[in-house]
């Protein structure tokens, strides 16, 4: 942004900060910056404050590694949920999706990523060690690997499955198949293949 | 975001704030929020601060209505630039584009929008009154209307042209035609039509 006149340091600085966010380039950052400048001062104040407050108050749950304001998150400290079954997900947002479905009453474990050597993500950067510690406590009976059905998600699931199989815990993978409400006519071959392969008897 | 567990108020709040930005829905806001939480605390601090500082220090230039940290922006206070010719643009970012071209040595005037009844933008919300005041000072000899070649941009240009014609100032519109480097084969009919209509003699 060297083309900006020298009296716009605060704007230049704001654009530089905004463009560090994922998926936001210099054009979008500029658009967002001008939008912020056009709003009442309250808007900028409360947006800036929310960013700082969220980062300062939220930290990793000591059990499941999800973000929480307490030492242990409400899901982990909920006595009505089973301690024996743990659903392993890539990101905190995946927990929200499972919770919306209301079909899971166990606990979670957030990996905070997947194994992806091209993006510089190896197994040491994921929260796998904490998962192994939780398994060593002996309460967990089943681990459901709910990483995404991508090459990286499948690789990560396989890696974890091999790592924890020796501990005697049951390891499962969420089913791949036809999504509810989809039309078979329009589904891709890979999904149909999985749906045939994993057919269940009635 | 009622599906969020009750211990995530700071996160919920951050997502609510982020999704007020233009072009950012709840999914992108969630992704941005988690990204911010994963960065070092410095990142959130400096992003939040930049937003607040930019909004607090930048305000409208009393001459051209562009954003500036001083009472009058560096372009308006630059004695090397002509006061006699004013380029009227929709947004401050349009000034950056003209400045990059290095083909304009006059002053600017920012409308901060275009006439667009469907979006609730009428002429009273644009900085047209300030432009008329500047014209009344008698220094400006030519006004170049450089709004975008859209229905709204053209309408706004026509509206301003009619409004200020009586003041005796020369009113021009930036030329529409074939962009430099384009291939005629692939150009749309409207652009080619304009290019033929506005042909210049050699």
Instruction: State the nearest Cα–Cα gap between A99 and chain B, in angstroms.
Output: 7
pLDDT in tens, A52-84: 999 999 989 999 999 998 889 999 999 999 999
Query: Complex ipTM above 0.95?
Result: no
pLDDT of residue A8: 65
pLDDT of residue A23: 93
| Alpha carbon distance B132, B52 (integer Å) | 33
Query: Residue A109: pLDDT above 80?
Result: yes
Instruction: State the nearest Cα–Cα gap between B133 and chain A, in angstroms.
Output: 22
pLDDT of residue A195: 85
**Which of A44-48, A86-90, B164-168 bottoms out in mean pLDDT, i.e. has the lowest?**
B164-168
Whether residue A121 lies within 8 A of chain B, CB to CB, comes out as no
| Alpha carbon distance A2, B100 (integer Å) | 10
pLDDT of residue B88: 95
For residue B67, the chain A residues in CB contact (below 8 A) are: 8, 11, 34, 37
pLDDT of residue B8: 65
For residue A99, the chain B residues in CB contact (below 8 A) are: 3, 5
Helix-then-strand count for chain B, H and E: 7, 6
Neighbours of A43 (CB within 10 A): 18
Contact A34 B3 (CB under 8 A): no
pLDDT of residue A48: 95
Query: Residue A122: pLDDT above 60?
Result: yes
Q: What percent of chain B clears pLDDT 90, i.e. is strictly above it?
A: 62
Q: Which B residues 99-118 touch A at CB under 8 Å?
A: 99-100, 112
Residues of chain B below pLDDT 50: 1-3
For residue A58, the chain B residues in CB contact (below 8 A) are: 8, 10-11, 37
- pLDDT tier at A2 (50, 70, 90 boundaries)? very low
Residues with Cβ within 8 Å of A77's Cβ and at least 6 positions away in sequence, in order, are A70
* CB of A109 closer than 8 Å to CB of A122: no
Contact A44 B56 (CB under 8 A): yes
Nearest alpha carbon to residue B88 among B24, B142, B23, B11 = B142
Residues with Cβ within 8 Å of A112's Cβ and at least 6 positions away in sequence, in order, are A65, A90, A91, A125, A126, A127, B38
- pLDDT tier at A87 (50, 70, 90 boundaries)? very high
Whether residue B70 lies within 8 A of chain A, CB to CB, comes out as yes
Domains and CATH numbers, chain B: 9-57 (1.10.8.420), 67-176 (3.40.1360.10)
pLDDT in tens, B138-161: 999 999 999 999 999 999 999 999
Nearest alpha carbon to residue B167 among B129, B123, B127, B132 = B132
| Alpha carbon distance B87, B103 (integer Å) | 12
pLDDT in tens, B3-34: 455 556 889 899 999 999 999 999 999 999 99
pLDDT in tens, A165-189: 888 899 999 988 888 888 888 888 8
Contact B51 A54 (CB under 8 A): no
Whether residue B72 lies within 8 A of chain A, CB to CB, comes out as no
pLDDT of residue B195: 85
pLDDT of residue A126: 93
pLDDT of residue A33: 93
Average pLDDT, chain A: 90
CA A95 vs CA A176, B23, B188: distances in Å: 18, 25, 48
| Alpha carbon distance A25, A19 (integer Å) | 5
Considering only CB atoms, A50 lies closest to which of B17, B56, B96, namely B17
Contact B55 A39 (CB under 8 A): yes
* CB of B3 closer than 8 Å to CB of B13: no
Residues with Cβ within 8 Å of A23's Cβ and at least 6 positions away in sequence, in order, are B28, B31
| E strand or H helix at A59 | strand A59-60
Contact B34 A92 (CB under 8 A): yes
């Amino acid at each position: 942004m060297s083309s900006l006149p020298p009296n716009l340091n605060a704007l230049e600085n704001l654009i530089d900060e905004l463009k560090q966010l994922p998926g936001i380039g210099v054009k979008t950052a500029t658009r967002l910056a001008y939008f912020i400048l056009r709003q009442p001062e309250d808007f900028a104040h409360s947006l800036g404050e929310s960013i700082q407050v969220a980062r300062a108050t939220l930290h990793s749950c000591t059990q499941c590694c999800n973000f929480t304001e307490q030492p242990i998150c409400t899901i982990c400290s909920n006595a009505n949920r089973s301690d024996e079954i743990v659903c392993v997900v890539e990101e905190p947002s995946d927990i929200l999706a499972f919770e919306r479905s209301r079909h899971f009453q166990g606990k979670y474990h957030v990996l905070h990523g997947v194994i992806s050597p091209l993006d510089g993500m190896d197994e040491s950067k994921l929260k796998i060690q904490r998962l192994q510690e939780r398994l060593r406590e002996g309460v967990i009976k089943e681990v459901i690997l709910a990483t995404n059905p991508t090459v990286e998600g499948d690789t990560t699931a396989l890696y974890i499955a091999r790592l924890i199989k020796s501990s005697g815990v049951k390891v499962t993978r969420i089913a791949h198949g036809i999504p509810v409400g989809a039309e078979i006519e329009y589904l891709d071959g890979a999904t149909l293949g999985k749906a045939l392969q994993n057919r269940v008897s009635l």
